[in-house]
């Protein structure tokens, strides 16, 4: 792949908690604005890739170590990075004399490293790979968000509680946002990997296939990832601005030019702030906008540009007429 891509992906959250802080509340900055971290965006994508049979290194997995001593013996615990690497690549060597070329070749064969890069400091290896895909923080653009707290009754008593009511079942709390809309900026720069071409055997850089896998997952992974806290979260919108090969065009994070307006029947995503892209027709190959036409309408002036512009259903991928 030899062209850059810029875009925005939006996640809708209804009576759910897309990204909680350590107190259990939706993550926010000091002035109270709710946002989702890039890690929250990447996690469902990695989980989807793993479910599809792809090699994924940087994701939590567990082991039971029957060879450990003391309290750790036969206990469920997360794998460390070296253990995860050896789990994904059975038979791979990770010792003092292991060649960095071998480690790099294995790392780049994992789809999450090919997309997001990696920091790998294990067994005398000190490898840092700046990912071709960079994802920013996703700020909630809906002003009417209310954080709700729900009491939950456990079916079990807390036998370790020394209070007088320890014989009763315990209470818990679930915190959700009634409605939030997170908009994540992202960019794809395949040239980040040029320095590894010629160093890693048979490595040709970031591929079109890897981009298509990222693109597909960024459109459906949140919808597919259905856990207790994420039930109610779904992919809502995405825009991909693909530059022409060799184009000398560098764009800032595009989320700042996108607005969300709450509607009665359908919500509106206003991307008229991106109309300035019409002035770069010679540098832009195509613009694709994905959304759910049943719940969202898109306001734009890009349809009038000479650039190849298409609106598509975020679930089916079919063109919206």
Q: Which among 190, 205, 289 is positioned nearest to 241, based on CA atoms?
A: 289
Find the length of the chain: 321
Q: pTM higher than 0.85, yes or no?
A: yes
Q: Report the C-alpha gap between 138 and 292 in whole angstroms.
A: 19
Strand partners, 173: 151
Chain position carrying tokens 């540098």 = 283
Question: Which pLDDT tens digit goes with each residue over 252-280?
Answer: 999 999 999 999 999 999 999 999 999 99
Question: Which pLDDT tens digit goes with each residue over 182-224?
Answer: 999 999 999 999 999 999 988 999 999 999 999 999 999 999 9
Q: Which among 242, 206, 210 is positioned nearest to 4, based on CA atoms?
A: 242
Domain boundaries, the chain: 5-59+75-150+174-313
Grouping H, G, I as helix, E, B as strand and the rest as coil, residue 148 is: strand
Give me the helices (H) in the chain, please.
38-51, 81-88, 100-108, 111-116, 208-224
Residue 25 contacts residue 18 (beta carbons within 8 Å):
no
- Dihedral (CA of 71, 77, 81, 84) sign: positive
Grouping H, G, I as helix, E, B as strand and the rest as coil, residue 162 is: coil
Per-residue pLDDT at 165 exceeds 60: no
Chain position carrying tokens 């791979």 = 92
Question: Which pLDDT tens digit goes with each residue over 105-120?
Answer: 999 999 999 999 999 9
pLDDT computed for residue 160 by the predictor: 64
Residue 122 contacts residue 82 (beta carbons within 8 Å):
yes
Per-residue pLDDT at 167 exceeds 80: no
Backbone angles phi and psi of 125, in degrees to 5? -100, 130
Per-residue pLDDT at 159 exceeds 90: no
pLDDT computed for residue 122 by the predictor: 86
Compare 269 and 229 and report the one with higher pLDDT. 269
Q: Which among 238, 203, 268, 187 is positioned nearest to 3, based on CA atoms?
A: 187
Grouping H, G, I as helix, E, B as strand and the rest as coil, residue 149 is: strand
Question: Which pLDDT tens digit goes with each residue over 70-92?
Answer: 777 788 899 999 999 999 999 88
């Amino acid at each position: 792949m030899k062209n850059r891509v810029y875009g925005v992906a939006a996640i809708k959250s209804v009576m759910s908690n897309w990204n909680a802080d350590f107190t259990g509340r939706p993550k926010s900055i000091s002035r109270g604005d709710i946002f989702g971290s890039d890690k929250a965006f990447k996690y469902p994508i990695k989980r989807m890739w793993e479910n599809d049979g792809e090699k994924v290194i940087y994701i939590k997995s567990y082991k039971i170590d029957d060879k450990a001593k003391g309290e750790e013996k036969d206990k469920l615990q997360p794998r460390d990075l070296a253990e995860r690497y050896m789990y994904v690549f059975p038979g791979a060597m990770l010792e003092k004399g292991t060649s960095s070329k071998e480690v790099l070749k294995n790392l780049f064969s994992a789809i999450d490293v090919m997309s997001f890069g990696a920091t790998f400091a294990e067994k005398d290896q000190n490898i840092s790979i700046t990912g071709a895909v960079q994802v920013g923080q996703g700020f909630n653009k809906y002003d009417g968000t209310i954080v709700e707290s729900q009491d939950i009754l456990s079916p079990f008593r807390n036998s370790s509680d020394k209070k007088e009511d320890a014989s009763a079942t315990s209470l818990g709390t679930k915190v959700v946002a009634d409605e939030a809309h997170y908009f994540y900026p992202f960019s794809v720069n395949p040239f980040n990997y040029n320095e590894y071409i010629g160093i890693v055997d048979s490595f040709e850089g970031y591929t079109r296939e890897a981009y298509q896998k990222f693109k597909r997952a960024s459109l459906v992974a949140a919808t597919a990832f259905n856990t207790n806290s994420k039930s109610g979260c779904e992919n809502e919108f995405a825009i991909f601005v693909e530059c022409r090969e060799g184009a000398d065009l560098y764009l800032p994070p595009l989320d700042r030019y996108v607005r969300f307006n709450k509607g009665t029947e359908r919500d509106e995503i206003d991307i008229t702030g991106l109309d300035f892209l019409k002035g770069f027709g010679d540098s832009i190959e195509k613009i694709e906008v994905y959304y759910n036409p049943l719940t969202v309408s898109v306001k734009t002036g890009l349809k009038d540009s000479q650039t190849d512009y298409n609106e598509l259903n975020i679930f089916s991928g079919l063109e919206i007429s």
